[in-house]
Amino acid sequence: MNQKTDARATLQALSEGDLTLVNTLLRMTEGSFEESGLDPQSHMLVRLAALATLDAAPTSWLVNMRVSGAAGLAPEQLLGTLVAIAPVIGTARVVSAATSIVQALQLAHNLSAGAH
């Protein structure tokens, strides 16, 4: 019973953007970069395109956007990537991605506001 409670609390925290619980995911991201042979910006643009294709949750966007910021991506590059993939994945996925990005930015804001 205690394990179920812990799992539920962990899932809830993860869904709310608590990234202290996802260090493993960040390490996986770093590992995939090293293996890809791509430069950091290209690697992150491909990952962000995949998130849009999969209709990823805002927390997934948040994790990857934090890494993409470290890779030096500008918001215009993210928007350009969404525009480039729209004919392939469809406008509904692009609009959903934009919504998830905005929600991820709000999560980031809430997390940083809570840290003060």
Residue 105 domain-assigned (yes or no): yes
Q: What is the model's pLDDT at position 19? A: 62
Q: What average pLDDT does the segment 44-72 reach? A: 86
For residue 106, give the CATH number of its domain.
Answer: 1.20.1290
Q: What is the model's pLDDT at position 88? A: 96
**Residue 1: band (very low, low, confident or very high) from pLDDT cuts 50, 70, 90:** very low
Residue 16 domain-assigned (yes or no): no
Contacts within 8 Å (CB) and 24+ apart, 49-55: 49/81, 49/84, 49/85, 51/97, 51/100, 52/81, 52/82, 52/85, 52/89, 52/93, 52/94, 52/96, 52/97, 53/85, 53/89, 53/93, 55/93, 55/96, 55/97, 55/100
- Whole domain around residue 74: which residue ranges? 2-11+21-114
Q: What is the model's pLDDT at position 115? A: 59
**Residue 34: band (very low, low, confident or very high) from pLDDT cuts 50, 70, 90:** confident
Q: What is the pTM of this model?
A: 0.74
Residue 26 domain-assigned (yes or no): yes
Q: How many structural domains is the chain composed of?
A: 1
pLDDT tens digits, residue range 76-88? 998 999 999 999 9
